[in-house]
Each structure stands twice: as structure tokens, then as C-alpha cells.
């Protein structure tokens, strides 16, 4: 009997000694444990978020994507999935689960390793906040002590809330709310049971079970979590079967379809810069929230209109060929093909694909696990490059990297990434609040904001400001001006001879200003500027917000040879739209700190109230009337498809088709569309403001003005009705108008030109260069002959 009792006594003594030793070590270590203030005063790193005026997320900035939620807002299915996957007895144990530890120890002894750690949710919270992830017994010991301390200070729900918000789940997402958006494009409360199980499987190894990077392993982990939920009694057999058999839609595709993050990258970037100016680098983790002035409907309409306009332009100019070629492997297994496509990114709906088979009537394209067959209309755009006679460097053949776009229910087509750029901005004409802003075709390809940064020639879209100046010098819409040829010899210009032309090459003699503006007659604009003098016009256009220094006082100013941004043009046209007041466009409405406290709000000058009046109300009304004729019967008649009588505006096209504009409005909303290359070059014959820019404007305004009643500016006092100069209709003049002075002689003094006519051939001397930082190169001002603008 003694041979049994002695060893047992020795073992008991060892156990008691071990427990006593652990107790002593614990007592010594306990006072040195870190304070739990980090947990009790939880302040997570929350990114800077940008919202539309109607509450939709435009973008977020910060290393950690995080959206803090209260435990009451976590769906029951997700709570149960987390408990089933990580800690089924969470609400029963005191922070450490002895049963779980023994189970893990047995498994580790059996397997001969340390595969299972038996960490409870509380222990994971301790590790995430205070400890490293190294697998040592010392770290595990402190993890256990901290878990016990946490359980003494916080309730179970508080601990679970910390876990739900702090845990890293891949894709830069911290916390389950951010993960739901990153993987499924949904708010946390919208996820299904199957999606909850997928997310609950991530904490074990976010990279290994990432449903985007490793969908197969993620699906296996999801099935494990669902089985554990069934075994724990959280769900019944029916719910388990439905979730287990749910379609395994690729989360990346799900995100693309369901995400509520809008196409507002350029707006978000403008707001980000303002936040950093105010808060410095802390802006990225203080939870600052910025509310912009744009609305979801307007922003999406602007984006769709611009993309369509650019794609239509690109289609008009033909397929340039594949954007790259790769060497196809012999086996062509999906993993190898995916590696070949890894260097190419999707750009919204323009998806990257790899041609694996090409014939004149059928092309097969591989894309991320599937091979698409494209034929018929889907090949119409690229058909010339399927011909055997096509240049080898541009021919569509196996190994070609191409772009695919799904066309509604018509299937897929092969397209290409456009080279041309475009911009659109719309502004509330009364307050200056920006309703929509798209600074380029694709922010991820080109972050240069063409709305605010691109200094370009406005062409004939600048003519209304010359006409407005002429009204102040005695002209009226019905005044007759000669549309006959002009010629300035080299001796007068001080450089080369200048013989400007009209766009159509025709000259129509005497005509009213109203008709001349509608038909964009260059000779009339030049003669007006001759009479009122370029110096007066240069000073006058400053009233609209233009920088006079960028509009040298030469006769080419009449044809828009200066430089402007779409932002400036929206500001300037708002003066005509609102009856003569200068407003200041702005994009940030309110700014809140991490505690939800309002820290900044824009208080804009309002037309008719606090905004300064910069032109006579009669002038604004007459110019509005004249620009309505541009839409009714001039160069912008396409806009009549909107079936509204309150639209006005002006087209603009510069020399060599470098820039195309349409600036237009109704009394409440101004929108400016521009098309051109970032580095100015010819866009192709016929790519005028009416052909390239106006369709973008129309497609945007179709949505922006939907449901809005037609409005008109009330006619101000001080206008006298008179027959128009050509006797065709009634028109108006200022009551106190004086007769217009006769035009000056054609042999003008050389002061109207530069010494070397820089406005004609040396723009760098006539126009100050654009600032070098984040600016496009200074636009090329017209050379002789001066642009045939329209």
C-alpha cells in the first residue's frame, strides 16, 4: 500500500507547490498589470469620413477602417456566430475557460504541437489591447491574468462590444461593422446568417480565411461556423440548411453591386485636404465627419453622364488596340492566368480580361475563374483589329489584355480605357453649394482635378462676358454689328498677319448681337471688343470672378484666348443665372469632430441677400435672354431635347479642337462640362462644344432638373421694349441707352496687340504659366490663324 501512497503524496505536494508558486507569481505580477483605462475609456482610431448632404458615404481616409457600434446594434445571428466560432461558454466562464483549456491541451498533446490555444473572447481582448501575438507561455500567463482583471472591471456585454469593434478582420477592416462593408457592401444590420458565419470565421486567421483572396478556404471555415452554431443550439436544422446552401457569390462582386460608397472621389479628396489643413495628420484617426454639399442623385447622374460622354467620344475615334500583351502559358490553368492579370486593375465597369482565343466572329476572354465568349455586337467596336491585315502591334490576338463591359442584358462587349479626359461641376446659383463634381474620367487613373486645377482656354464660351461688357457700353441685343472679314497686317500686329475666321467660314454682313451670339460669330465678337477696348473688357470680367491677369487685353480675348477652370466658369455663369450676384462655390457644408460636435460650418453669401451685386440686373436679364436663344436656335439646340424653356448657355471650342465646353443653366442650377486631353492635343475634327461637351451636360441636367418646375427671371425695371435691329422681333434696351459709337477703324493701334502678338503665337508671354504643383501645363493659346470658335 505504501508504494501507492508515497508517490500520490509526492504528486499532491508537487501540485500544491505548483499552485502556490503560480499564486505567488500571480500576486507579484498582478500589481504590475497595465491599467484598464484603455478599455474603460475606449477611444478607437476612427477614420475620416466624407458624406453627401443627404447622408451617403462618399469616402473614408485612414489606416484603419472602423465603424464603432453598440452591442445592442449587433445582429443576434452575428453574436451567436462569434460565440460558436470563438467562445461558446463566454457568458458562463470568468474570463478563462478551464474546460476549453483542458480540451486544447489534450489536442495539443495528441498532435504533438501547440495548434490550439483555447483563448476566450476576453483573453483575445486582452491580447489585442495590451499584448503581442507571440506564442510563448509567458505571454499566455499575462493574457490569463489580464482576462481575469478585465472580467472584474467590465460586464460581459461590454467585453463583447470591445471585441466586436476592435478585432482585425482583413481588408484594412477593424471590427465587424467595417468588415461587413468591406466584404459585402452592407451595414451590419443587413447581413444574412450565411454572411454572419463568414465574418465570424475571420478572427482565427484573417488572411487565410479572407473570402476575397481565398474564397475556397473561407467557404470551408464558414461551413464550420454554421455547424458549430447548429451544435450549440443557436440555429435549427432548417436555418442551417438554408445558410449552408446559400449561393457562394464572390464577395468582391457582391461589394461592387451593393456598396453605397458613391463615385465622389474628387469631392472626397477636396474635403480631405480641408480636414488636414484644420487638424493635421490627426484628421485620419479622430473620427472626424465631413458633410459636403453634393447630393447622391446629382453626383451619380454627373458621373454617369461624364462616363457616357467620354465613352461615346472614344467610340467615335475607334479602337487603338489592346493595352498590353502577355505570354500565355501552355497549360493556361486559372491560377497562372490570374497571376498574369494581377498587374492590371479594373476601373469601375471597365473590367480587365485576357484573350485566350480570337477569331473574326468570336473572341474568348478569361477573367478571374471564368471564360467569356463575346460575339456579334460585342465585337463591333474592335472588329477592325480582328482582321488579319491589322498591324501586329494592335491586333486582337491570344495574350492581349483587353477591357470588358457588361451592357445591361445584352451581354459583354470589348471596349478600351479612354485617353481623353472630361470634367463636370454643377452649382446652386443662389448659394454656391456644389451639387455635383467629377474632376476626371477615373480618379484611380488620374487624380488631377480638372474642375479646380486645369487652366484651359474657354473658347467661345467666354463670349457672353464680352457681350455683357458691351451692354454696359451702350450696345443692346438688337444692335447691328458687321459680320464681314477682318484682316490685320503684320505691321499692325507687330508679328504675323492675322485673319480670323468664323467656324463655318461664312460671313453674313450686318446682324444683331442676339443672332451673333446664338450663331457664335467671331467677327462680331472681335468688333465688339474693338469698340469697348480690351482693357475695359479685361477689367470688367474680373467682376465674374476671373483673374484678369489670365485674360491679356488683346483682341484674341474676344475668342476666349485666356485661361480658366471649370470652377471659375461655374462661378461666372451663376451671375447670369441669379440676376447679377457673385456667389462663391463651396463643397464642404459642415465638419464634426469625433464626439459629434460641430466644429465648422460654411455660411455662404446668398444671391439677393448677402452676396454682392456685380452687374446690373438688366444686363443679367438681357444676357439670359440672349443665351436662351443659343439653346433655342443656336449652337446648343441639342439641349431642346430636355423640353424646357428655362435653359440658357453657350458652347465653346478652341483652336485645333483642343478644348470643348458647354456652360449652361436654368435660374437655379448652373452646370459646366468640359472635354479635352490632360496634355492638350487635337481631339479630332468636329469635336466641338456642341458635339463633345453638350451631351454630357444634357444627360446630367436630365436627372438634376427632373421634377423641378420651369422658372424664369422676372424682367427688371428700366428696360424699354423696341424693335430689334433687323426688325424681325421685339427686343429690349436700357431706358437711358445712348446710341452706340461707330466702330473704330480697322487699322487699330498696336497697343491692342503685344510686341510679338503673344496672344497669337507665344502664350507663355501673354498668359502667366500655371503653378507647377498639381497643375496642368499652361494651355496653348491660339496661333495664327486665331481659333475658329463656336
| Region 541-557 average pLDDT | 96
User: With bands split at pLDDT 50, 70 and 90, how would you rate the model's confidence at 778?
Assistant: very low
Q: Do 685 and 720 lie in a common domain?
A: yes
Q: What is the CATH number of the domain that holds 395?
A: 2.40.50.140
Say which residues have a Cβ less than 8 Å from residue 506's Cβ, sequence separation at least 6. none
pLDDT of residue 654: 94
Q: Do 117 and 191 lie in a common domain?
A: yes
CB 789 within 8 A of CB 661: no
CB 326 within 8 A of CB 355: no
pLDDT for 253 beyond 70:
no
Predicted confidence (pLDDT) per residue in 637-679, tens digit = 999 999 999 999 999 999 999 999 999 999 999 999 999 999 9
pLDDT for 693 beyond 90:
yes
Query: Is residue 164, in this structure, part of any structural domain at all?
Result: yes
pLDDT for 101 beyond 80:
no
Q: How many CA atoms lie within 13 A of 50 on its CB side?
A: 30
Pick 585 or 208 by higher pLDDT. 585
CA distance 681 to 776: 13
Q: What is the CATH number of the domain that holds 709?
A: 3.40.710.10
pLDDT for 521 beyond 90:
yes
Q: Do 499 and 588 lie in a common domain?
A: yes
415, 448, 472 - which closes a domain: 415
Predicted confidence (pLDDT) per residue in 35-56, tens digit = 566 565 556 778 899 999 999 9
Predicted confidence (pLDDT) per residue in 2-24, tens digit = 554 545 554 554 445 444 444 44
Among residues 246, 220, 204, 214, the alpha carbon closest in space to that of 77 is found at 246
Parallel/antiparallel/unpaired status of strands 669-676 and 421-428 = antiparallel
Q: Do 648 and 517 lie in a common domain?
A: yes
Say whether the peptide bond before residue 275 is cis (omega within 30 degrees of 0). Answer: no
CB atoms within 10 A of CB 716: 15
pLDDT for 470 beyond 70:
yes
What are the distances in angstroms from CA 374 to CA 345, 379, 411, 426, 635? 21, 7, 8, 38, 40
**Residues of the chain by 3-state class (helix, strand, coil), percent to 5:** 40, 15, 40
Q: Do 184 and 239 lie in a common domain?
A: yes
Predicted confidence (pLDDT) per residue in 584-596, tens digit = 999 999 999 888 8
Query: Is residue 786, in this structure, part of any structural domain at all?
Result: no
Among residues 545, 551, 462, the alpha carbon closest in space to that of 767 is found at 551
pLDDT of residue 786: 34
Q: Is 752 exposed, middle or buried (0-12, 13-18, 19+ CB in 10 A)?
A: buried
pLDDT of residue 402: 96
CB atoms within 10 A of CB 578: 27
370, 386, 415 - which closes a domain: 415
pLDDT for 749 beyond 60:
no
Helix (H), strand (E) at residue 577: helix 566-577
Query: Is residue 468, in this structure, part of any structural domain at all?
Result: yes
pLDDT for 225 beyond 60:
yes
- Please, what is the Cα angle at 351 between 348 and 357, to 5 degrees? 170
Q: Do 447 and 392 lie in a common domain?
A: no
Q: Which three cell numbers stand for residue 427?
A: 452649382
Residue whose cell numbers read 424693335? 723
Q: Which three cell numbers stand for residue 594?
A: 469625433
CA distance 252 to 455: 38
pLDDT for 228 beyond 80:
yes
Q: Which three cell numbers stand for residue 508?
A: 453674313
Query: Is residue 333, in this structure, part of any structural domain at all?
Result: yes
Q: Do 597 and 717 lie in a common domain?
A: yes
The residues with which 506 forms a beta bridge, in sequence order, are: none
Among residues 626, 635, 623, 630, the alpha carbon closest in space to that of 502 is found at 635
Q: Do 432 and 451 lie in a common domain?
A: yes
Query: Is residue 504, in this structure, part of any structural domain at all?
Result: yes
Predicted confidence (pLDDT) per residue in 156-173, tens digit = 898 898 888 888 888 878
pLDDT of residue 343: 86
Q: Do 625 and 727 lie in a common domain?
A: yes
Query: Is residue 266, in this structure, part of any structural domain at all?
Result: no
CB 734 within 8 A of CB 720: yes
CA distance 577 to 580: 8
CA distance 745 to 492: 12
Q: Do 630 and 711 lie in a common domain?
A: yes
CA distance 787 to 760: 10
Instruction: Find the radius of gyration of the CA atoms of the chain.
Output: 35
CB 230 within 8 A of CB 237: yes
Query: Is residue 44, in this structure, part of any structural domain at all?
Result: no
393, 415, 437 - which closes a domain: 415
Q: Do 563 and 454 lie in a common domain?
A: yes
Among residues 664, 660, 640, 638, the alpha carbon closest in space to that of 650 is found at 664
| Region 206-217 average pLDDT | 81
Query: Is residue 482, in this structure, part of any structural domain at all?
Result: yes
Q: Do 748 and 612 lie in a common domain?
A: yes
Predicted confidence (pLDDT) per residue in 392-442, tens digit = 889 999 999 999 999 877 789 999 999 999 999 999 999 999 999 999 999
pLDDT of residue 19: 43
Q: What is the mean pLDDT of the chain?
A: 84
The fraction of the chain above a pLDDT of 90, given in percent, is 57
Decide: helix, strand or coil at residue 636.
coil
Helix (H), strand (E) at residue 439: none
Q: What is the CATH number of the domain that holds 170?
A: 1.10.3810.10
Q: What are phi and psi of 206, to 5 degrees?
A: -55, -35
Structural domain tally of the chain?
Answer: 3
Catalytic positions: 86, 460
Residue 87 sits in which domain range?
Answer: 69-246
Helix (H), strand (E) at residue 655: none
- Per-residue exposure over 144-163, b if at least 16 CB sit within 10 Å of its own CB, e if not: bbbbbbbbeebebebbbbbb
- Please, what is the Cα angle at 197 between 194 and 200, to 5 degrees? 150
Amino acid at each position: 500500500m505504501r508504494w501507492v501512497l508515497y508517490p500520490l503524496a509526492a504528486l499532491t505536494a508537487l501540485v500544491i507547490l505548483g499552485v502556490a508558486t503560480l499564486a505567488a507569481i500571480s500576486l507579484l505580477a498582478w500589481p504590475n498589470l497595465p491599467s484598464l483605462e484603455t478599455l474603460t475609456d475606449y477611444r478607437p482610431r476612427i477614420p475620416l469620413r466624407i458624406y453627401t448632404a443627404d447622408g451617403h458615404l462618399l469616402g473614408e481616409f485612414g489606416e484603419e477602417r472602423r465603424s464603432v457600434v453598440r452591442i445592442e446594434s449587433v445582429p443576434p445571428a452575428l453574436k451567436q456566430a462569434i460565440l460558436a466560432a470563438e467562445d461558446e461558454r463566454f457568458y458562463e466562464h470568468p474570463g478563462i475557460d478551464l474546460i476549453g483549456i483542458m480540451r486544447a491541451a489534450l489536442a495539443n498533446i495528441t498532435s504533438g504541437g501547440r495548434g490550439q490555444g483555447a483563448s476566450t473572447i476576453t483573453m483575445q481582448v486582452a491580447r489585442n489591447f495590451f499584448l503581442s501575438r507571440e506564442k510563448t507561455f509567458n505571454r499566455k500567463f499575462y493574457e490569463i491574468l489580464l482576462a481575469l482583471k478585465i472580467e472584474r472591471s467590465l460586464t460581459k456585454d461590454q467585453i463583447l462590444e470591445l471585441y466586436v469593434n476592435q478585432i482585425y478582420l482583413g481588408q484594412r477592416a477593424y471590427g465587424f461593422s467595417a468588415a461587413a462593408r468591406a466584404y459585402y457592401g452592407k451595414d451590419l444590420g443587413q447581413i444574412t446568417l450565411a454572411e454572419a458565419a463568414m465574418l465570424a470565421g475571420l478572427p482565427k486567421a484573417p488572411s487565410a480565411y479572407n473570402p476575397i483572396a481565398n474564397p475556397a478556404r473561407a467557404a470551408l471555415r464558414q461551413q464550420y461556423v454554421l455547424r458549430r452554431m447548429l451544435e450549440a443550439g443557436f440555429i435549427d436544422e432548417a436555418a442551417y440548411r438554408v445558410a449552408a446552401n446559400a449561393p457562394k457569390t464572390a464577395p468582391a462582386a457582391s461589394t461592387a453591386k451593393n456598396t453605397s460608397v458613391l463615385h465622389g472621389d474628387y469631392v472626397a479628396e477636396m474635403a480631405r485636404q480641408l480636414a488636414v489643413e484644420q487638424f493635421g495628420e490627426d484628421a485620419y484617426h479622430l473620427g472626424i465627419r465631413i458633410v459636403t454639399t453634393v447630393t447622391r442623385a446629382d453626383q451619380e447622374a454627373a458621373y454617369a453622364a461624364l462616363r457616357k460622354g467620354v465613352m461615346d467620344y472614344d467610340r467615335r475615334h475607334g479602337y487603338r488596340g489592346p493595352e498590353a500583351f502577355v505570354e500565355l502559358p501552355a497549360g493556361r490553368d486559372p491560377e497562372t492566368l490570374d497571376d498574369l492579370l494581377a498587374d492590371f486593375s479594373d476601373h469601375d465597369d471597365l473590367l480587365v480580361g485576357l484573350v485566350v482565343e480570337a477569331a473574326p466572329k468570336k473572341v474568348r476572354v478569361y477573367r478571374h475563374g471564368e471564360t467569356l465568349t463575346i460575339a456579334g455586337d460585342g465585337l463591333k467596336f474592335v472588329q477592325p483589329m480582328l482582321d488579319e491585315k491589322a498591324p501586329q502591334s494592335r491586333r486582337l490576338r491570344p495574350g492581349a489584355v483587353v477591357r470588358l463591359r457588361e451592357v445591361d442584358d445584352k451581354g459583354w462587349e470589348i471596349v478600351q480605357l479612354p485617353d481623353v479626359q472630361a470634367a463636370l461641376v454643377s452649382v446652386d446659383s443662389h448659394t454656391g453649394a456644389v451639387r455635383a463634381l467629377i474632376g476626371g474620367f477615373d480618379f484611380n487613373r488620374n487624380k488631377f482635378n480638372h474642375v479646380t486645377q486645369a487652366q484651359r482656354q474657354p473658347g467661345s464660351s467666354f463670349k457672353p462676358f464680352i457681350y455683357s461688357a458691351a451692354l454696359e457700353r451702350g450696345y443692346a441685343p438688337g444692335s447691328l454689328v458687321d459680320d464681314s472679314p477682318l484682316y490685320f497686317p503684320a505691321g499692325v500686329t507687330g508679328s504675323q498677319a492675322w485673319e480670323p475666321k468664323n467656324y463655318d467660314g461664312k460671313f453674313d454682313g450686318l446682324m444683331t448681337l442676339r443672332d451673333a451670339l446664338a450663331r457664335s460669330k467671331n467677327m462680331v465678337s472681335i468688333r465688339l471688343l474693338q469698340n469697348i477696348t480690351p482693357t475695359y473688357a479685361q477689367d470688367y470680367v474680373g467682376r465674374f470672378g476671373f483673374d484678369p491677369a489670365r485674360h491679356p487685353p488683346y483682341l484674341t480675348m474676344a475668342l476666349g484666348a485666356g485661361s480658366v477652370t471649370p470652377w471659375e466658369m461655374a462661378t461666372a455663369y451663376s451671375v447670369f443665372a441669379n440676376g447679377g450676384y457673385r456667389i462663391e462655390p463651396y463643397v464642404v457644408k459642415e465638419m464634426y469632430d469625433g464626439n459629434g460636435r460641430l466644429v465648422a460650418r460654411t455660411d455662404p453669401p446668398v444671391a439677393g441677400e448677402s452676396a454682392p451685386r456685380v452687374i446690373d440686373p438688366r444686363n443679367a436679364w438681357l444676357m439670359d435672354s440672349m443665351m436662351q436663344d443659343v439653346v433655342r436656335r443656336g449652337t446648343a439646340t441639342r439641349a431642346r431635347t430636355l423640353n424646357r424653356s428655362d435653359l440658357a448657355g453657350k458652347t465653346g471650342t478652341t483652336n485645333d479642337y483642343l478644348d470643348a465646353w458647354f456652360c449652361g443653366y436654368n435660374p437655379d442650377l448652373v452646370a459646366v462640362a468640359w472635354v479635352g486631353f490632360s496634355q492638350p492635343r487635337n481631339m479630332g475634327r468636329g469635336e466641338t462644344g456642341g458635339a463633345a461637351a453638350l451631351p454630357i451636360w444634357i444627360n446630367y441636367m436630365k436627372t438634376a432638373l427632373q421634377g423641378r418646375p420651369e422658372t424664369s427671371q422676372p424682367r427688371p425695371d428700366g428696360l424699354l421694349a423696341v424693335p430689334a435691329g433687323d426688325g424681325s422681333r421685339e427686343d429690349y434696351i436700357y431706358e437711358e441707352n445712348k446710341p452706340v459709337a461707330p466702330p473704330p477703324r480697322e487699322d487699330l493701334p498696336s497697343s491692342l496687340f503685344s510686341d510679338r502678338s503673344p496672344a497669337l503665337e507665344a502664350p507663355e508671354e501673354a498668359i502667366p504659366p500655371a503653378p507647377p504643383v498639381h497643375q496642368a501645363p499652361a494651355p496653348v493659346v491660339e496661333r495664327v490663324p486665331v481659333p475658329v470658335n463656336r
